[in-house]
Amino acid sequence: MKSNKPIKFSYYKNKRAFLLIEILVAFLIISMVTVPLIRNPIYFFKHQIKSLEKLECERIADLTFLDIKLESFKDHININDISLLEVDAKKINLNPYFLDTFNKKAVKRSYKLYSRKKPKETLDGKIYKLVHVKIYLQPQDIKEKDAYVYRYKMICKKK
Q: What is the mean pLDDT of each run of 10 residues along the chain (159 residues)?
A: 59 62 89 86 88 89 92 78 80 86 83 83 79 90 83 83
Confidence at residue 13, expressed as pLDDT on a 0 to 100 scale: 55
Look at residue 106 and tell me if it is in a domain.
yes
Does 7 map to a domain? no
pLDDT attached to residue 85: 78
Query: Does residue 50 form part of some domain?
Result: yes
Beta strands in 27-99 (DSSP E): 92-98
Looking at residue 130, its amino acid is L
| 10 occurs within a structural domain | no
Which range of residues forms the domain containing residue 97? Answer: 20-158
**Residue 74 falls inside a structural domain:** yes
Structural domain count of the chain = 1
- CA 88 – CA 29 distance, rounded (Å): 62
Specify if 62 maps to a domain. Answer: yes
Sequence-distant (≥ 6) Cβ neighbours of residue 68 within 8 angstroms: 77, 111, 113, 133, 154
Residue 141, domain member (yes or no): yes
Q: Is residue 3 part of a domain?
A: no
